Amino acid sequence: MRKKEFELTKGEEVLMELFWNADRPLTSMDICEMTDEFNDSYVHRLLTALQKKDMLGVNGVVQSVKQYARTFIPTMTREEYGALLMERLGINNEKAFAKVAVAMVQRSADKQKEGNKELVKQLENIVEQLKKS
């Protein structure tokens, strides 16, 4: 079970977005190159905090010039984090999930009509899977 402190600070969210959008494990040096929002020491503090919250895990070690740097990967997807936030807000049953899905579709309806067709198809697949289980 994840720790109660799973709610992320703004800085932690920024870092997690970098990890969720990356196609590879990242080092602290990678993060510092990707954003100028934080200094080196703050990046290290954020990485430590995210590890304590079980949001990041050490993936390995790479050599950078004469030093070694740990590589990190997210241990939770963006969607899993969103689900935890929804659960914290009391959205934790089928009726509430359905209402959230409808609200999300309505919010995006004006933005992308084709995307809604794909979403409906995905939701239909989920319903079919639930019927089978």
pLDDT tens, the chain, 133 aa long = 444 556 899 999 999 999 999 989 999 999 999 999 999 999 999 999 999 999 999 999 999 778 899 999 999 999 899 888 888 888 887 778 778 877 877 777 666 666 667 777 887 888 888 888 7
Runs of H (alpha helix) within the chain: 10-21, 28-34, 40-52, 78-88, 94-109, 113-132
CATH number for the region 4-74 comes to 1.10.10.10
24 vs 18, 74, 113, CA distance in Å?
Answer: 10, 10, 32
Predicted model pTM: 0.75
